[in-house]
Amino acid sequence: MLAKSFRAPLAAIALGALCQHPVTAQDGSIETLVANDKSFALNGKGMSYRFHVDEDTGDLYNDHFGGLATEDGLVEPLARPDGWAGFPSRVLREYPDLGRGDMRIPAVQIRQAGDGKAYTVSDLKYQSHELVEGKPALSGLPSTFGEAGEVSTLIVHLYDNYSAIAVDMSYSIFAEHDAVVRSVNITNKGENDIVLDKAASLSVDLPFADYEMIYLRGDWAREAQRVRRSVEYGNQGFGSLAGYSSHFHNPFLALVSPDTTESRGDAWGFSLVYTGSFSVDVEKSSQGPLRATLGLNPYEFAWPLKPGETFTTPECVAIYSDAGVGGMSRKFHNLFRKNLIRSKFATEPRPALLNSWEGLYFAYNQSTVLDLARATAELGVKLFVLDDGWFGNEFPRNNDSLGLGDWQVNKAKFPDGLGPLVDEITQLQSGNSSDKLQFGLWFEPEMVNPNSTLYGKHPDWVLHAADYPRTLRRNQLVLNLALPEVQEHVINSVANILDTAKVTYVKWDNNRGMHETTTSYASHQYMLGLYRVLDTLTTRFPDVLFEGCASGGGRFDPGIMHYFPQSWTSDNTDGFNRVGIQFGTSLAYPPSAMGAHVSVVPNHQAGRVTPLAYRAHVAMMGGSFGFELNPADLTADERAELPALISLADQVNPIVIQGDMYRLSLPEHSNWPAAMWITPEGDKAAVFYFQTRANVNHQLPYLKLQGLDPSARYALDGNGTFSGATLMNVGVQYMFPVEDYGSKVMLLERQ
């Protein structure tokens, strides 16, 4: 038995008297990880995950995943089955294989080859298990991490004696976050090749009950739209075949009870730590139980495994909260900030930035860039980012049909290179502060235009399938990062620039999906190559703040987040659309990881006109606040408002980066969406409150706050002090003026 890293207070736990698979220690406290003969329990602060080895079959059966439990419940043995659905179709299984009478969706499907065999039956039986302090790294894949004491790991070894296939299942428990992280190794120990047609990272069976599922759908410029619907009999799933996690769906699933709200009720959250094509299946089976599997998309898999080889799946996080959807989100946020994002910037306030894209697009030269940088510095912004257009000589990057792949500074625009310009820019004083302006640069290293020197030299470096057309999207092709020589090229292209100019921020863009791949499994090989590149560059340049981007939020996933502490949330910078996109993204991801910018009106994507303060207040709810405009395009009144807004952004940024987020009312339910953040110490809070449509001749609601200490007193923006109880139970009534797109930020300080 493992030394425990967490003990729940005795008083909180009712002791079980006699139980089949006990998990309480002698003194009644709950241990984090317990293996009792062939029964296992993983316990968090408010969550238990329990399963055991069935004596008769050697299969793993789930006993419980939900709130804390100290022993197995009173569960009647299954009656002798009638009909076609035998025991295997009725039990709650941990990693269901295919072909032995479980007629639900399998977690794993293995095709055996050699000697004319084409079986897809597997017979994975328990062999042994081991307990490990801490959490072993997942070789070549992004993963959560933690010290011994923070996380402990159970590894269960399964074996198919007929085909000599070993499956090692890893379960790591982060007690503080009520999170279990699972991944699977599949090893071919036989003498014939096999093919993995499906290998889910996680499969979970929940007992018969009514459930609803929550997930995200979208497309370019309208990412992360929340969907909530009931789980019906049959299979209902979603995923991505874009080669990337994509705008279409996010590798995130929540299951909730029908009566679960933002702040109350059962919520199970699942998050796949992966950036490629994925699949989520949710099946309510004939007998009533629910099965969910998350993992690589089987349509782009068929992974050949030779004798002696091991395949490692990405990992999947499973979280339980009884504090509703909001409670689940906060656990994801905390886990991801502390135990997934490895950048030193993970919990650091981020510099307010100005990005040149919507201000200049491709039309710039050394002097216009310097002018924009000067205007940026005058505003008191801390970081100037030069977007697309600075590279390519044989094919100068003056529009999106040429130059991509040629990461040399364009000599026509920058005759002296970037070095002297960046030196000058980084000498500029930011506003009235003593800080100097920092410089950031845009890259899209995984892509190439056919109109480029690189493509002329290496047409074979792009993803392609023999003579099938190399379909262009945005005039570009995808470099095949599975190839080691392409990985080296990408690493060197980016490193060369970072070595020669004082660049402290990189925006890493990726603007198309994959088509015409070389093999069924090329997209996963690509991901392994990409992860090697990201690992190498972020290790070599630990002081550079990397921001991920994929035509906006096309790769807003935990895989990218492991390397890049922030990602651009959407190309749509319209304030109103952004409220929905950012609230949706916050279901799984910490606001600290969201890039959010203010742009000019009418908005370039939505055409909408909203007040500057509204746009800025919405953008302040992202960890990386900034501007996507040329200040010269603002009105004089707007320019006059800017210093106060930037100073407010600087003030709330540490709270948004480190704080617990409470979504107080949702944009899809209310004309007054609101969210608040409270620092981990509980000493400060920031409340963001919006009015979408003007409220004419009608009362305004009371906004009830959450998460405060009921007995503490808080100063509310210089308008008196109130107890937490009053703020949470009575609320605050703010009188929005009669206007569309009203906004209000309230700061609270505990007295």
| Residues annotated in a binding site for substrate | 220, 387-388, 474, 507-511, 549, 571
- Phi and psi angles of residue 507, each rounded to the nearest 5 degrees, phi first: -100, 115
Taking the complex as a whole, the smallest distance from the CB of residue 448 to ligand NAG amounts, in Å, to 12
Phi, psi angle pair for 627, to nearest 5°: -125, 145
Tokens read off for 446: 């995984």
Measured CA to CA, the distance from residue 88 to residue 54 in angstroms comes to 12
Select 193 or 717, whichever has its Cβ closest to ligand NAG: 717
Report d(CA 180, CA 735) in Å as an integer.
Answer: 44
Strand order in the sheet with 721-723: 660-665, 674-678, 684-691, 742-750, 713-716, 721-723
365 binds ligand NAG (CB under 6 A): yes
What burial class does residue 549 get, using C-beta atoms within 10 Å of its C-beta: 0-12 exposed, 13-18 middle, 19+ buried?
A: buried
d(CA 42, CA 368): 59
Options 240, 312, 334, 706; binder of ligand NAG; rule CB under 6 A? 312
Q: Is 393 in the site for ligand NAG (CB under 6 A)?
A: no
Q: How far apart are CA 392 and CA 746, in angstroms?
A: 47
Sequence-ordered alpha helix ranges (H) in 78-236: none
Residue in the structure block whose two tokens are 């999170």: 179
Can residue 81 be called a binding residue for ligand NAG (CB under 6 A)?
no
Distance CA 144, CA 148 (A): 13
Alpha carbon 424 to its chain centroid, in Å, reads 37
Q: For 307, which DSSP code?
A: T
* Using rule CB under 6 A, residue 451 touches ligand NAG: yes
Give the residues across from 597 on adjacent strands: 626
Q: Is 431 in the site for ligand NAG (CB under 6 A)?
A: yes
Query: Which x/- pattern, by CB under 6 A, does the window 83-122 give for ligand NAG?
Result: ----------------------------------------
Closer CB to ligand NAG, 139 or 496, in the complex: 139
Structure tokens at 319: 């979280």
d(CA 590, CA 594): 7
643 binds ligand NAG (CB under 6 A): yes
Please report whether residue 726 would count as binding ligand NAG according to CB under 6 A. no
Told to check if 168 binds ligand NAG by CB under 6 A, we report: yes
How many other C-beta atoms can be found within 10 angstroms of the C-beta atom of residue 703? 19
- Give the C-alpha separation, 395 to 400, whole Å: 11
Q: Which residue is associated with the tokens 């402990």?
A: 152
Q: How far is the CB of 371 from ligand NAG (least distance, A)?
A: 9
Q: Is 727 in the site for ligand NAG (CB under 6 A)?
A: no
What residues pair up with 721 in beta bridges, in sequence order?
715
Torsion angles phi and psi, residue 489, rounded to 5: -60, -45
| Residue 549 or 732 with smaller CB distance to ligand NAG | 732
For the segment 685-724, give every residue that binds ligand NAG (CB under 6 A): 717, 719
Q: Please state the closest distance from residue 192 (CB atom) to ligand NAG, in A.
A: 16
Q: Is 367 in the site for ligand NAG (CB under 6 A)?
A: yes
36, 192, 236, 398: which one contacts ligand NAG (CB under 6 A)? Answer: 398
Beta strands 566-568; 594-598: pairing state = parallel
Q: Is residue 368 part of the contact set for ligand NAG (CB under 6 A)?
A: yes
Compute the least distance from the CB of residue 449 to ligand NAG, in Å.
Answer: 7
Asked if residue 91 lies in contact with residue 59, where contact means CB atoms within 8 angstroms, the answer is: yes
Residue of 59, 281, 509, 557 with catalytic role: 509
Nearest-angstrom CA–CA distance, 715 and 74: 50
Indicate whether 428 belongs to the interface with ligand NAG (CB under 6 A). no
Q: Look at residue 464 and give its three-state secondary structure.
A: coil
Q: Which stretch binds ligand NAG (CB under 6 A): 319-327, 393-401, 574-582, 693-701?
A: 393-401
571, 574, 650, 660: the catalytic one is 571
Residues making up the annotated binding site are: 220, 387-388, 474, 507-511, 549, 571
DSSP, collapsed to helix, strand or coil, labels residue 197 as: strand
Could you count the other beta carbons within 10 Å of the beta carbon of residue 699?
7
Residues 6+ apart with CB under 8 A from 307: 188, 189, 190, 191, 192, 193
Residue position matching structure tokens 């959450």: 706
Q: Is 651 in the site for ligand NAG (CB under 6 A)?
A: no
The angle that helices 612-620 and 575-585 make with each other, rounded to 10 degrees, is 10
Q: Is 535 one of the catalytic residues? A: no
Sheet holding 33-36, edge to edge: 33-36, 39-43, 48-53, 60-66
The two beta strands, 624-627 and 660-665, are unpaired
Among 261, 310, 500, 539, binds ligand NAG (CB under 6 A): 310
- Tokens 């970037």 identify what position? 418
In the residue annotation, 571 being an active-site residue is answered as yes
- Which of 46, 276, 298, 380 binds ligand NAG (CB under 6 A)? It is 380
Q: Which is nearer to ligand NAG, 310 or 427 (CB)?
A: 310
**Is 26 one of the binding residues for ligand NAG (CB under 6 A)?**
no
The answer to whether residue 432 forms part of the interface with ligand NAG (CB under 6 A) is: yes
Pick one of 161, 496, 500, 635: the residue that binds ligand NAG (CB under 6 A): 161
Region from 364-372, 418-426, 500-508, 617-625 binding ligand NAG, contact rule CB under 6 A: 364-372
Give the footprint of ligand NAG on residues 459-488 (CB under 6 A). Answer: 472, 475
Site string for ligand NAG, 313-352 (x = CB under 6 A): ----------------------------------------
Binding of ligand NAG at residue 139 (CB under 6 A)? yes
Binding ligand NAG by CB under 6 A: which of 136, 234, 420, 484? 136
Which stretch, 362-370, 556-564, 616-624, 702-710, contacts ligand NAG (CB under 6 A)? 362-370
3-state helix, strand, coil in the chain (%, to 5): 20, 30, 50
| Closest CB 569 distance from ligand NAG, rounded Å | 26
Complex with ligand NAG: residue 308 or 419, whichever CB lies closer: 308
211 vs 672, which CB is nearer to ligand NAG?
A: 672
**Residue 618 and residue 648 in contact, taking contact as beta carbons nearer than 8 Å:** no
**Cβ of residue 221: shortest distance to ligand NAG, in angstroms?**
20
Q: Which residue lies nearer to ligand NAG by CB, 368 or 679?
A: 368
Q: Which is nearer to ligand NAG, 132 or 302 (CB)?
A: 132
**Where in 197-256 is the site for ligand NAG (CB under 6 A)?**
none
How near is the Cβ of 41 to ligand NAG at its closest, in Å?
19
Taking the complex as a whole, the smallest distance from the CB of residue 323 to ligand NAG amounts, in Å, to: 26
Binding site for ligand NAG (CB under 6 A): 136, 139, 155, 161, 168, 170, 185, 310, 312, 365, 367-368, 379-380, 398-399, 401-402, 431-432, 450-451, 472, 475, 643, 717, 719, 732, 734, 746
Q: Which residues are catalytic?
A: 509, 571
